[in-house]
Amino acid sequence: MTISTFGGLVGLMGMEHGLGEILQGNIKPNGLMILSWPDSAFFQILGGEPAMTIVPNMLVSGILATLVSLTYLAWVVWLIDYKHSGWVLTILSVLMLLFGGGIFPPIFGGLIAAVAANRRATSIWVGKLFSENVHLVLAKAWPWAFGLGVLSWLTMIPGVPVLNYVFGVENTSLIFIILGCMFGFPGLAELAGIARDARGKTGMVGWISREAPQ
């Protein structure tokens, strides 16, 4: 659930970048680095939403960014249990970066892909590293970490632009704090989710069953 939720948000953010590029129309970008929303007062606080593209046409780049991001969203939500999902999501994250899907969405997407590819190994590592009491605390912390993670993502988009556009709030430090929360809380939620799932298999039996040969 954690991977699918935050992966879905990555896909939506990539599509938002793509939409901005589509609306710029059939024009040539000035270089490798572009702005998805260069003339939007709403996205001014986020620097016009920076991105990069290897496609020499904003319209085509936007369409590709949207399609790749939509594919990422669909895969991470409905096909995440597929054996090679980690590799598929990694490739889609790279394409998202190269086709104008933003800078941070592909970075987050790549991190999620790495987690998806190594979730079993991470589960075993967490089981060995932490004591039973820590597992219990992590399991109980999952709803809070998950909720705060989602809240931090929604605070960045659309929260920060809304605060700036409607109320005139402009605080760079706030953006960096939110960005840190966007990395930190989902990571904690993933660890907590592993602990919660394992304890659902009667305490430490969960860790043993994960480690046993298949």
| Domain extent listing, the chain | 1-117, 119-214
pLDDT at 189: 95
| Residue-level length of the chain | 214
Q: Global pTM?
A: 0.87
pLDDT at 209: 39
pLDDT at 123: 77
Q: Residue 117: which residues within 8 A CB-CB, separation 6 or more?
A: 85, 86, 87, 90
CA angle 203, 208, 211 (to 5 degrees): 140
Return per-residue pLDDT of the chain as tens, 214 residues. 899 999 999 999 999 999 999 999 999 999 999 999 999 999 999 999 999 999 999 999 999 999 999 999 999 999 998 889 999 999 999 999 999 999 999 999 999 999 988 877 777 777 777 788 888 899 999 999 999 999 999 999 999 999 999 999 999 899 999 999 999 999 999 999 988 887 765 444 344 334 444 4
Distance between CA atoms of residues 129 and 44, nearest Å: 44
pLDDT at 32: 97
pLDDT at 40: 97
pLDDT at 95: 98
